[in-house]
Amino acid sequence: MPMEGLAGIVTELRRKLIYIATLFGVGTLVSFSFMGELIKKIQYDMFWGLSLSGKPDAAGLLVDISNNLSLISDKLASNSSAIAQNLTMMSGELLNISRNLTPQTPAIVYLTPMEVLMLEFKLSLICGLVITLPLVLYYAYRGVRGRVRTVLPVSITMLMFVLLAAAILFLLGAGYSYYFLLPTFLDYIYQDAANMGINATFSVHEFIYFIVVTTVIFGFSFELPLLLTMMSKLGIASRQTLAHYRRHAYVVMLIIAAFVTPDPTMFSQIMLMVPFVILYEISLIVMKVTGK
């Protein structure tokens, strides 16, 4: 009898794993066909508000002058080849100057033959995991719903609320990073390089990896209010303790920000610390209101 029960559990687990693997495979394959559009959208979202350096009006004027000189040179070629040659050289120099005055947008390039294909494959795997996650959580919920009260001092309703709050906070953090922090940061480093006469060229894999990792990091960082509230709820730390050691917490957050942020300057650390501090204080207010 125990063996029959174990066989039933194994069969049920096998069936669920097949469903999960099937959904993951289908989600990955379907997502793969959209990865090119996703990569283009990420580039647009990051660079649409870029403050391009240069003087496009002056560059256009020089191009017009260069074209006129070329026309004059062609007309004089039969009568005075020396003058025509000088005019042609002047036209070429004006074109070179105009290129230096034309705003240069960052160039996204691939450095190895398989770089773009592998990037699309990795992104499609991530999308497949995201698509599969709700089914995994559902199976996990069904597995623990009868035992959660004996394992954790929280109800099923509270557990579902925590999962919903975690998803909302993650989306808020990811949105803050993707739509505000990253475009601002990229504009800053672009302007810094442009002031030194350096044009930006990014590897498509490294660029997309940078965007995705930073977005995920900030998404998880916004889970702080939920984490602190749950610590208080479970009796791990009281509001008074968290309020008393807030300065220590800020120092720890600054150290963490120095490791997880993508650049060695203080810019991104500050951009991460500001919401950290705000979220920490919001957590204390929530715990005070709820009496925890």
Percent of the chain exceeding pLDDT 70 equals: 69
Domain boundary among 64, 83, 101: 101
Distance CA 276, CA 256 (A): 11
Has residue 86 got a pLDDT over 90? Answer: no
Q: Are residues 26 and 158 in the same domain?
A: yes
Give the per-residue pLDDT at 102: 47
Give, for 225, the enclosing helix (H) or strand (E): helix 224-233
Lowest mean pLDDT among 162-176, 203-217, 226-240: 226-240
Q: What is the pTM of this model?
A: 0.70
Distance CA 144, CA 140 (A): 6
Q: Are residues 62 and 187 in the same domain?
A: no
Q: Is the dihedral of CA 160, 165, 170, 175 positive or negative?
A: positive
Q: How many CB atoms lie within 10 A of CB 248?
A: 9
Q: Are residues 97 and 146 in the same domain?
A: no
Q: Are residues 117 and 175 in the same domain?
A: yes
pLDDT band at residue 90, thresholds of 50, 70 and 90?
low
111-148 pLDDT per residue, tens: 888 999 999 999 999 999 989 988 888 887 777 665 65
From 131, 133, 169, 163, select the one nearest 145 (Cα to Cα).
Answer: 163
Give the per-residue pLDDT at 137: 82
CB 171 within 8 A of CB 83: no
CB 262 within 8 A of CB 210: yes
Distance of CA 229 to the CA centre of its chain: 27
Q: Are residues 138 and 26 in the same domain?
A: yes
Q: Are residues 145 and 251 in the same domain?
A: yes
Could you tell me the CA-to-CA distances from 269 to 87, 233, 258, 261 in Å, in that order? 54, 30, 6, 6
Q: Are residues 95 and 119 in the same domain?
A: no
Has residue 198 got a pLDDT over 60? Answer: yes
Give the per-residue pLDDT at 154: 59
Give the per-residue pLDDT at 158: 73
Give the per-residue pLDDT at 4: 57
Q: Are residues 41 and 72 in the same domain?
A: no
Range with top average pLDDT, 3-17, 165-179, 229-243: 165-179
Average pLDDT score, the chain: 76
- Number of domains making up the chain: 2
Beta pairing partners, 8:
none
237-272 pLDDT per residue, tens: 778 888 888 888 888 888 877 776 656 567 767 777
Distance of CA 13 to the CA centre of its chain: 35
Q: Are residues 64 and 8 in the same domain?
A: no
235: left (phi over 0), alpha (psi -120 to 50) or beta: left
Q: Are residues 239 and 276 in the same domain?
A: yes
Task: State the residue range of the domain holding 153.
Answer: 2-47+109-290
Task: Collect all residues with Cβ–Cβ distance below 8 Å to 258 and sequence separation of at least 6.
Answer: 269
Domain boundary among 67, 85, 101: 101
Better pLDDT: 50 or 227 = 227
Q: Are residues 197 and 267 in the same domain?
A: yes
Q: Are residues 174 and 71 in the same domain?
A: no
Q: How many CB atoms lie within 10 A of CB 291?
A: 6
16-44 pLDDT per residue, tens: 899 999 999 999 999 999 998 999 898 88
